[in-house]
C-alpha cells in the first residue's frame, strides 16, 4: 500500500516536533550535570590569547550566569596564560549576573565590558586596573557603590551612564579627564572629586542628573 506523500511529510514534521523538546531537555540536563553545583558551569568563559604569556576574557558563554570568579591564569591548548584583560562586551547583557570576582592580574576593561548587567551588585576593581573602556558599566542599574583605584587617569564617555542606584563615588586625584556623559543619569549619585576643578578636564553632561558634585581642593 502506497502512503500519500503529504501524509508522509506531515508524519515527519510531527516526529521532528516531538524530538526537539527532548533534545533541549537533554541539553539542559547535561549543562547541569557538568556544573560545579554553585550555579556556575565548569568553563563559562571563552578566552583569547594576547601574547605568548597573556590572555583576555573574550566573552561569557552563559548570559544567565549569576556568580563568577575569573581565574588569574587559564590553560589554552595545554599552555598556561595570565589573564590580563576583560575584552569589549565580554559580559554585556548578562542580566542575571550579580557578583563577579576579578584577579589582580587584570589591567584593563574593554568598552561595554559589563554594559547592561542590570543585576550586578558586587564588583571590585583591582588596583592593577589602569584602563576602563567607554560604556564599561553603562546600565548597571543595581550597582550601589564602586571604588576607583589611583591607577586610573581617565573616565571615558558613558562609563557609568544610567547607573541609577549608585550612591557615592570618590574620584581619585589621579583622574585628569572625565568623558561625555560618564555619569549621566545617575540620579542618586553624590560625586566627590579629590582634586581642584582646574585640574580635571570635564566634558559636557559628564554629571548630568547627578545629585551633587564637589571638589575637595579649592583652586
Residue 187, SS3? coil
Please tell me the distance from the alpha carbon of residue 162 to that of residue 183, in angstroms, as a whole number.
Answer: 7
Write down the pLDDT at residue 60: 95
Which residue has cell 574593554?
Answer: 110
pLDDT digits (tens, 9 = 90+) for 149-205: 999 999 999 999 999 999 999 999 999 999 999 999 999 999 999 999 999 999 999
Which residues in the chain come in under a pLDDT of 70?
1-42, 219
Write down the pLDDT at residue 150: 94
Checking 119-126 for CB contacts under 8 A at 24+ apart, the result is 119/95, 122/98, 123/99, 125/149, 126/102
Where exactly are the structural domains of the chain? 1-33, 38-215
Write down the pLDDT at residue 63: 85
Please tell me the distance from the alpha carbon of residue 78 to that of residue 93, in angstroms, as a whole number.
Answer: 31
CATH T-level assignment (fold) for domain 38-215: 3.80.10
| 116 alpha carbon, distance to own chain's centre | 8
Write down the pLDDT at residue 43: 79
Write down the pLDDT at residue 218: 76
Write down the pLDDT at residue 18: 54
Write down the pLDDT at residue 40: 45
Please tell me the distance from the alpha carbon of residue 184 to that of residue 66, in angstroms, as a whole number.
Answer: 27
Distances in Å between the Cα of 178 and the Cα atoms of 149, 182, 216 are 15, 7, 16
Amino acid at each position: 500500500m502506497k502512503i500519500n506523500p503529504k501524509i508522509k511529510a506531515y508524519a515527519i514534521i510531527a516526529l521532528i516536533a516531538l524530538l526537539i523538546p527532548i533534545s533541549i531537555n537533554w541539553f539542559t540536563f547535561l549543562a547541569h550535570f557538568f556544573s560545579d553545583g554553585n550555579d556556575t558551569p565548569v568553563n563559562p568563559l571563552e578566552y583569547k590569547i594576547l601574547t605568548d604569556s597573556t590572555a583576555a576574557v573574550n566573552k561569557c558563554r552563559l548570559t544567565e550566569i549569576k556568580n563568577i570568579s575569573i581565574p588569574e591564569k587559564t590553560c589554552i591548548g595545554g599552555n598556561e596564560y595570565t589573564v590580563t584583560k576583560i575584552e569589549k562586551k565580554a559580559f554585556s547583557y548578562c542580566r542575571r549576573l550579580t557578583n563577579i570576582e576579578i584577579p589582580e592580574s587584570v589591567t584593563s576593561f574593554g568598552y561595554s565590558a559589563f554594559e547592561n548587567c542590570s543585576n550586578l551588585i558586587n564588583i571590585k576593581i583591582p588596583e592593577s586596573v589602569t584602563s576602563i573602556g567607554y560604556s564599561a558599566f553603562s546600565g548597571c542599574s543595581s550597582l550601589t557603590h564602586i571604588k576607583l583605584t589611583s591607577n586610573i587617569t581617565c573616565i571615558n564617555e558613558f562609563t557609568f551612564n544610567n547607573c541609577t542606584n549608585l550612591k557615592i563615588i570618590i574620584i581619585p586625584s589621579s583622574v585628569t579627564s572625565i568623558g561625555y556623559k560618564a555619569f549621566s543619569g545617575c540620579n542618586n549619585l553624590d560625586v566627590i572629586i579629590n582634586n581642584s576643578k582646574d585640574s580635571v578636564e570635564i566634558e559636557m553632561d559628564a554629571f548630568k542628573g547627578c545629585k551633587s558634585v564637589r571638589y575637595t581642593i579649592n583652586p
